[in-house]
Amino acid sequence: MKIIEEFLQFLKIQKRVSEHTLDGYSRELQFFFQFLKGHFDKEIELTDLILSDFRSYLAFRKNQNLSDSSLARVVSILKTFFRFLERKKAIKNTAIILLRAPKKPKRLPRAVAEKDLFDMLHFIQKENLPSWVILRNQTLLFFLWGAGLRMSEVLGIKRQDLKQDILHLTGKGQKDRLVPILPLLNESAQEMLKAMPFDAQDADFIFRGIQGKHLNPREVQRLLERVRRVMGLSEDTTPHSLRHSFATHLLQRKTDLRTLQKLLGHSSLSTTQIYTKISSADLEKEYLHAHPRMKK
């Protein structure tokens, strides 16, 4: 649909959003327009949609077993789309402003235990895969856990970025931050590059798929799915949980909150403070386990 294509092009060029995000926006808007076709007996203008129409769409998506967090993202996508229509296409709909997203449940991110992380590395090293793929998967884990990077940031690393001791990253909301590259991370990346059966120029992404193309995020997700299934780990063990693990483990070692905030790229300290609650919960758990009066 032309209007969707123009919107996605705007996001890509003006907002510089990731391919993963573009794909999510595209699929949601296609769902939305397909819903409108079935919801109305006749063609209707986007300006004529009323609040109950938008709420009907949310109810439709909720019936597809979407969580409140996912529904909140649907609302965000629709509002972003209609703001684009108003500013770029002079198509205005005031009802969308009144649409409220479900409140996201406050949930503490789950960190992976250090022992499990080392076991994951051991599992990856023993998989029956080409040696360079094993090195790639190991290096992925190092950057996700060892540097606390988002998956999109890891997959965006280019060979030229490894020539310095500091990674210059542009994360969410186009916020820039600097993250040190530990020697272990650089050594692992260099070993992977030497073993890869593809040429790697400075401007090339370092993480490649089997065919030599830029590694797809879904492949990283599949890797973690495979590891957690075989090892019997929680379903919360995802690429993003490794970033949470990085933060939690640093905080447990008394890393300053402001330093952690800069490493993670959080715009607000309150976001980083979530991890103090995690550490407090871990402390209470250890206390209840260790105190002689608390034992059964």
Long-range contacts of 69-76 (CB under 8 A, 24+ apart): 69/104, 69/105, 71/101, 71/102, 72/101, 72/102, 72/103, 72/104, 73/24, 73/28, 74/28, 74/101, 75/99, 75/100, 75/101, 76/101
Gap between the Cα atoms of 4 and 10, Å rounded: 10
Gap between the Cα atoms of 190 and 188, Å rounded: 6
The one catalytic residue among 208, 243, 244, 249: 243
> Do the Cβ atoms of 20 and 217 come closer than 8 Å?
yes
The one catalytic residue among 110, 172, 177, 214: 172
Active site residue 275: yes
The one catalytic residue among 150, 228, 244, 249: 150
Active site residue 150: yes
CA atoms within 13 A on the CB side of 287: 6
Active site residue 266: yes
Gap between the Cα atoms of 31 and 70, Å rounded: 14
The one catalytic residue among 12, 79, 110, 240: 240
Active site residue 37: no
Active site residue 289: no
Beta bridge partners, 279, equal none
Residues that are catalytic: 150, 172, 240, 243, 266, 275
